[in-house]
Amino acid sequence: MSHALNVSLTRRGSKIDLDMQSAALGVLHIDGETLSPDERAGTAKKLLAASALYCYCAALDKALDARSAKYDKIEAAATLETGTDDKGRGRVTGIRLDVTVFMDQEYEFIFERVEKIMKQGCLITGSLEPAIPITYNLQLECDAE
């Protein structure tokens, strides 16, 4: 069974509306006129990194929840690396996800099981992995007791 979702983009000069067609995300307005070239650069790469990070953390949340493991918070960051391929074209050469789960030590054994599952990634990272190496750095931070 396949599913489709849509986003749409309208560009008027340097003003872009990226309609996520989602109540959660709405329309992302990007006004290139107000940004320096350095600030404009990398927007698509940031969206890709954010998508991978959001999906991975959502899958992590579901995996923990399915095992009744409660956590205080998840802190995460994505680092996207770029370079060139053998033809000199710009390419994403890797994505690293650094994720820390803050939870009580009583759930440590569940975290260890979930950690093994999460090495398989999520929908987005798993889809990207054939073309882009993904590194998962999943850590546990337990409350001191």
Check whether residue 34 and residue 95 sit in a common domain.
no
Measured in residues, the chain has a length of 145
Check whether residue 19 and residue 64 sit in a common domain.
no
CATH number for position 77: 3.30.300.20
Check whether residue 23 and residue 77 sit in a common domain.
no
Kindly report, residue by residue over 9-67, the tens digit of the pLDDT.
Answer: 999 998 999 999 999 999 999 988 888 888 878 889 999 999 999 999 999 999 999 99
Kindly report, residue by residue over 63-91, the tens digit of the pLDDT.
Answer: 999 999 999 999 999 999 999 999 999 99
Number of domains in the chain: 2
Check whether residue 51 and residue 74 sit in a common domain.
yes
According to DSSP, the β-strands at 15-19 and 134-142 are unpaired
Give kind and range of the element (H or E) at residue 84. strand 73-84
Check whether residue 83 and residue 108 sit in a common domain.
yes
Token pair 């390419």 is at which residue? 91
- Classify 60 as helix, strand or coil: helix
pTM, rounded to two decimals:
0.90
106 domain residue, yes or no: yes
